[in-house]
Amino acid sequence: MPRFALHANGDAARPCAFRATSPGDGSPVITTKGLTKVYRTRDREVTALDGVDLHVREGEVHGVVGQSGAGKSTLIRAVNLLEVPTSGTVTVDGTDLTALAGNGKRAGAELRKARARIGMVFQHFNLLSARTVQDNVELPLEILGHSGAERSRKALELLDLVGLADKAKAYPAQLSGGQKQRVGIARALAGDPKVLLSDEATSALDPETTRSILQLLRDLNRDLGLTVLLITHEMDVVKAVCDSASLMKNGKITESGALSDLLATPGSEIAAELFPLTGDPLGAPDRTVVDITFLGENTGQPVISHLARTYNIDVSILGAAMDTVGGKQVGRMRIELPGPYEENVVPIGFLREQGLQIEIVGAADAVKDTQLVAGVAQ
Ligand SMILES: Nc1ncnc2c1ncn2[C@@H]1O[C@H](COP(=O)(O)OP(=O)(O)OP(=O)(O)O)[C@@H](O)[C@H]1O
């Protein structure tokens, strides 16, 4: 994976002055249970969220992917209650936000306090054009009632953190898209959030700027122990920064998990999108097509030559690729073995014994086999 510059000007990462690194203990910091949102207009109802159970663990970067209209924006906006759910609960860092919202008058202040611990970054930056960069970053601190000196100190520290210390007095119109998003990120960090929500933060940016903003999010995740929940329609974003992901379809989460687990799950749509395998899945008649996923240290093993030698069979490689997913090296290969599935049970068992993830493709028995493996994986 290429190393991306942390800052637009190529500066190295600066140590963070705001919070010591605290590696998460893996407990959920964002949890939604049965989250449902029904939009009612005069002539129709749209169920945008249909009983969503989402778990994002502390310190991870979690991506939510799905087609347009799947409910991604509604979900991320429901996590900080910008969108009030019709039913279900949202808990962030141990606080049930849905309960706070239901508490009548007092709720406003308590909900505002809880929300300050949830930063949000938007696709179109949402900066105030009449305010300077520094004043934009100070805005949440003004709302929280910080003094002028404290606001100024913190805003300048945050601008330094995102590589824009020299742009404090500039106006948004004088910045590039990537710089505007850095201001958006600095503003989102003003309340010392535990969680950062990113709503398509890089969709309006060119590929190079996208990479630098994703790297900044990754660095903030690592240096501040910040948990990041992002929505995107780009699998490259997931590949570059996410530890885990969920797929949304029609308001539901249809699969969710660590990327390495999803890559090892037969039939995972996220895995197929993250890492599409080329090569005809049907192969030749009376031959068995097998997809192999290599993770971590397995990627360097000469498994195929070992297989061919051990069983004295000709192995054809139909397609293969290596990539880095979530910072880990992954290899996928589609091979073809001579003979139908039932004649290849032993060589396939050999591949499994090597700790590889195996999926049999395109044969009647494959369905049985895939279900068997899926059952084991659960
Ligand atoms: N304010 C609203 N009023 C009525 N329907 C809405 C509203 N907001 C969203 N919807 C509908 O809810 C469904 C989910 O929309 P949402 O924007 O959450 O999807 P999405 O996955 O984020 O899509 P995209 O990637 O295009 O932004 C869609 O059918 C959409 O038309």
Q: In the chain, what are the domain boundaries?
A: 28-263, 277-377
Atom from ligand 1 closest to the CA of residue 37 = 12
* Per-residue pLDDT reduced to its tens digit, 113-165: 888 889 999 999 999 999 999 999 999 999 888 998 999 999 999 999 999 99
Task: For residue 86, report the distance from its CA to the centre of ligand 1, in Å.
Answer: 15
* Per-residue pLDDT reduced to its tens digit, 298-308: 777 788 888 99
Task: For residue 48, report the distance from its CA to the centre of ligand 1, in Å.
Answer: 6
pLDDT attached to residue 103: 57
Instruction: Enumerate residue ranges in the chain where pLDDT < 70.
Output: 1-26, 102-107, 279-284, 362-378
Residue 218's nearest CA partner among 228, 208, 210, 209 is: 228
For residues 101-140, b (16+ Cβ closer than 10 Å) or e, as one string?
beeeeebeeebeebbbebbbbbbebebeeeebbbbbbbbb
Domains 28-263 and 277-377 in one fold: no
For residues 212-224, b (16+ Cβ closer than 10 Å) or e, as one string?
bbbbbbbbbbebb
Task: Among 73, 122, 197, 231, say which to mutate for ligand 1: greatest number of ligand atoms within 8 Å of CB.
Answer: 73
313-319 contacts at long range (C-beta below 8 A, 24 or more positions apart): 313/337, 313/338, 313/347, 314/338, 318/278, 318/279, 318/280, 318/283, 318/289, 319/277, 319/278, 319/279
84 within ligand 1 shell (Cβ under 6 A): no
Atom from ligand 1 closest to the CA of residue 251 = 14
Ligand 1: residue whose CA is nearest its atom 6: 39
CATH superfamily of 277-377: ACT domain (3.30.70.260)
Six token digits for residue 351? 């591949």
Give DSSP secondary structure letters for 108-177: HHHHHHHHHTEEEEETT----TTS-HHHHHHHHHHHTT--HHHHHHHHHHHHHHTT-GGGTT--GGGS-H
pLDDT attached to residue 25: 59
**CA-to-CA separations, 199 to 125, 225, 230, 283, 332, in angstroms, rounded:** 10, 20, 6, 41, 31
- Give Cβ neighbours of residue 301 (< 8 Å, ≥ 6 apart): 294, 354
68 within ligand 1 shell (Cβ under 6 A): yes
74 within ligand 1 shell (Cβ under 6 A): yes
CB 119 within 8 A of CB 197: yes
pLDDT attached to residue 367: 44
Six token digits for residue 155? 């805003």
Ligand 1: residue whose CA is nearest its atom 14: 71
**CA-to-CA separations, 109 to 75, 76, 139, 146, in angstroms, rounded:** 23, 21, 17, 16
88 within ligand 1 shell (Cβ under 6 A): no
* Per-residue pLDDT reduced to its tens digit, 348-369: 999 998 888 888 886 544 444 4
pLDDT attached to residue 362: 63
Return the number of other C-beta atoms located less than 10 Å from residue 246's C-beta. 26
Q: Give CA–CA dist 228/29, Å, rounded.
A: 10
CATH for 28-263 (3.40.50.1370, 1.20.1260.10, 3.40.50.300, 3.40.50.150): 3.40.50.300
**Residue 373 forms beta bridges with which residues?**
none
Ligand 1: residue whose CA is nearest its atom 5: 39
Ligand 1: residue whose CA is nearest its atom 16: 71
Task: Among 35, 37, 38, 39, say which to mutate for ligand 1: greatest number of ligand atoms within 8 Å of CB.
Answer: 39
pLDDT attached to residue 19: 37
